Amino acid sequence: MPKIFILPHAQLCPEGKTLEVETGKSLCEAMVEHDVEIEHACEMSCACTTCHVVVRKGFNSLNESSDDEEDLLDAAWGLEATSRLSCQVKLGQEDITIEIPKYTINHARENH
């Protein structure tokens, strides 16, 4: 089973975290199931950018992004070459390291 290494994030994961999950699982689902409260305003339907992450290691082991995901990522805060929407990432066989950006764009959120 691959491991997900989450780099420290001030609000969501101050100490960082390591998760062990089954291959093929959605990255967003895995984080939520392990009490990492990453936003997913569209309920993981690839309709927003609130679950945006940057893959620091293991990017090439992941499934390819769709055109819809690529279009949405263009609007994400802090976009990088290895950015993905965690709801669209299916874990492969290799371990990955991710960073959750400091900010997210959530137009539906009441408390900014």
List domains and CATH numbers for the chain.
3-99 (3.10.20.30)
- pLDDT at site 47: 93
Q: Contact 112/68 with Cβ under 8 angstroms?
A: no
Tokens of 86: 């965690």
Q: Is the pLDDT of residue 26 over 70?
A: yes
Q: Where are the alpha helices (DSSP H) in 1-112?
A: 27-33, 67-73
Tokens of 104: 């997210």
- pLDDT at site 15: 95
pLDDT band at 112 (very low <50, low <70, confident <90, very high): very low
Q: What percent of the chain has pLDDT over 90?
A: 80
pLDDT tens digit string along 37-90? 999 999 999 999 999 999 999 999 999 999 999 999 998 989 999 999 999 999
Half-sphere exposure of 83 (CA within 13 A, CB side): 19
Q: Is the pLDDT of residue 107 over 80?
A: no
